[in-house]
Structure formats: C-alpha cells, structure tokens
Amino acid sequence: MALRAERAAILALFVGAVVTAFAPILVRLSEVGPSPTAFYRFLLAVPVYWTLVLAVPVGGGRAARDKPSGSRVHLLMALAGACLAGDMAAWHYSIHMTSVANATLLLNVTPAFVVLGGWLLFRTRVTGTFMLGLVTAMTGILALSGASLALSRTRFVGDLLGLVTAMFYAGYQMTVERLRRRYSTLTIMIYAMPVSAMVTLAVALLSGETMAVLTPAGWAVLVALAVGPQVLGQGLIAWALAHLPVAFVSVSLLVQPIVAATAAWLLFDERIGAQQALGAVAVLGGIAIARRGSARR
C-alpha cells in the first residue's frame, strides 16, 4: 500500500510539474503586467479551491474536519502563502534587474536551499547518491539554459533577488511539506492563497502596473493560469509532498524548464539545440539518481 501511494505521488508530482511549467507561457500571453497577473492568478484560484471543498466529497469532507487550530498552525498557513507570493514577486523583479539567464539559473538553486534548510532547521540528512543526482540535474539545468552565470556589479541586486526567489520557493515547499503531515491539500490552499493574493496585490499596486483586464481573452488567460498551474499544478505538487521527501520533490521540479522549453519550441518556434537536449537528458538522469538516493518514508 505504501509503495502504491509512493508511485501515485511520483505520478502526481510530475503531472503537477508539467502543468505548472506552462505558467510562464500564460504570463507572456497575459494582457496585464507580471505583478497584476500574479495577483489575479491567486485571487481567481481562491473560489476554485472553495468550489472543490464543497464539490469533492473526500477532499471537502476532510477539509471541513481538519480546520486549522492554534496560532502556530495559522502562522504556517500564512507563511506558505507569503512564501509563494514572495517567490513570484522576487522572480518578476529579478527578471527586470538582471539577465533572464541569470534569473533562471538562480531560481533553480531551490533544491540546494531545500537541502540546506532541511539540515539547519530539522537536521534532515541526505545521501551521497542523492547529492550526485542533485549536482547532475543542476548541471543539466545550466546546459539547458544555454548560458553561464555572468555576475556584474550593475546586476547585483537582480542576481540577489534571483537567490531570494529560490529561498522563497524552498520555504514554500518545506512549509507545505510540514503542513501536509496533518492537513489536506485543500485545507492548506484555502487558507494560504488569500495571503498570496494580498501580498501580490500590494506588490502590483506598488509597481504602478495597470490592473485593468479589458478583453474576454485577457480574462481567459488569467482563469487558465489560476485553474491550471495554480490549482491543478501546485495542488498536485502539494499532495505529493505528503508522500515524498521534500528534497526529492524539489529536485524533480527541475523538469519544469524542460517542459517550458519544449512548449516554447512548439508554440513560439524557439530553437532547442544539441546542448539544450543534452542538458535535458542530464536533468532527467539526475532526477532518477536522486530518487535512488532518497530515503523511503
């Protein structure tokens, strides 16, 4: 039974990663700026989560029973929402203040922060095999990006925000992993997403970007972003965190750049060269090695 649940979690994790990987494409298609798009992504996800609570017997029933109690639990719920919002806000500003290559590479340092944070906060250890898989996958990401990390004084703040992005996402993954030991995915999301919406609303207002969505097509993109990458994608990833080590989940999410690059090739005719193809193979190989080195729960 445990093995069956583990296999189901791995499948959910990769489906969630694939769905979430389409988020940058939908952001590109949005008719409002990155910060307002992030706000609408979270805002529109809230009623979808509540609809699922009411419509899905198992998920809804459990969400009604395991209502969070105690200041510590509410703080963790809010922290999960704030970390996810901080991840998006820092990422968007990082893209504008440094090169896209730097921002992308630094975002994918997330698994390293998960491993470091797990050791510092919970004394969680990983095996040498897992570390080999992590290094292999991250090397593949470097090759997949087609660029090397180029540091400069003029881009220092943007590069720093790229690292902050990775730290926020690592914090989100670790927080959700702790909460999933007791609470359902729906319970976590219906309490965390309003926090994400409020944080990104503040960022959007401070950015000065227009909040007006003027066309039905514009709303359709935002609804697709909320229902797809946010509700389905992040929901499946959160569900998997109850059954898999968070460090392995974090490494597995490195498959997202492969999916995004493939989608960009199909939709926007962005070329994939031999180096990128080899990088993708290295990422997949690294994930497989990391899985072998992950301790079973």
Q: Is the pLDDT of residue 232 over 90?
A: yes
Residue 230 backbone dihedrals phi, psi, to 5 degrees:
-80, -60
Residues 107 and 163: beta-carbon distance below 8 Å:
no
Q: In the chain, how many domains are there?
A: 1
What confidence score (pLDDT) does residue 149 get? 53
Where residue 297 falls among pLDDT bands split at 50, 70, 90?
very low
- Taking the C-alpha atoms of residue 107 and residue 164, their distance in angstroms, rounded to an integer, is 8
Is 34 part of any domain? Answer: yes
Q: Is the pLDDT of residue 28 over 90?
A: no
Give the least confident one: 12-21, 42-51, 250-259: 250-259
Is 216 part of any domain? Answer: yes
Element (H, E) at 171: helix 156-179
Is 145 part of any domain? Answer: yes
Residue 151 backbone dihedrals phi, psi, to 5 degrees:
-90, 145
What confidence score (pLDDT) does residue 225 get? 94
Where residue 154 falls among pLDDT bands split at 50, 70, 90?
low
Residue 171 backbone dihedrals phi, psi, to 5 degrees:
-60, -40
Tell which residue, 135, 145, 113, has the closest CA to residue 285.
135
List, for residues 38-89, the tens digit of each pLDDT value: 999 999 999 999 998 888 665 444 544 567 777 889 999 999 999 999 998 8
Torsion of CA 101, 102, 103, 104, to 10 degrees: 50
Q: Taking all residues of the chain, what is their mean pLDDT, rounded to a whole number? A: 84
Give residue 40's domain range: 2-292
Identify the DSSP state of 114: H
C-alpha to C-alpha distances, 18 to 54, 81, 260, 271, 274, nearest whole angstrom: 27, 21, 8, 20, 22
Where residue 211 falls among pLDDT bands split at 50, 70, 90?
very high
- Measured from the Cβ of residue 127, the count of other Cβ atoms closer than 10 Å reads 13
List, for residues 2-14, the tens digit of each pLDDT value: 667 788 999 999 9
Is 153 part of any domain? Answer: yes
Length, in residues, of the chain? 297
Listed ranges 21-30, 129-138, 254-263; the one with the highest mean pLDDT: 129-138
Q: Is the pLDDT of residue 194 over 90?
A: yes
What confidence score (pLDDT) does residue 59 get? 45
What confidence score (pLDDT) does residue 60 get? 46
Is 297 part of any domain? Answer: no
Q: Where are the alpha helices (DSSP H) in 21-122?
A: 23-29, 34-55, 57-65, 71-97, 100-107, 110-122
Specify the pTM.
0.84
Q: What is the mean pLDDT of residues 268-283?
A: 79
Is 109 part of any domain? Answer: yes
- Residue 261 identity: A
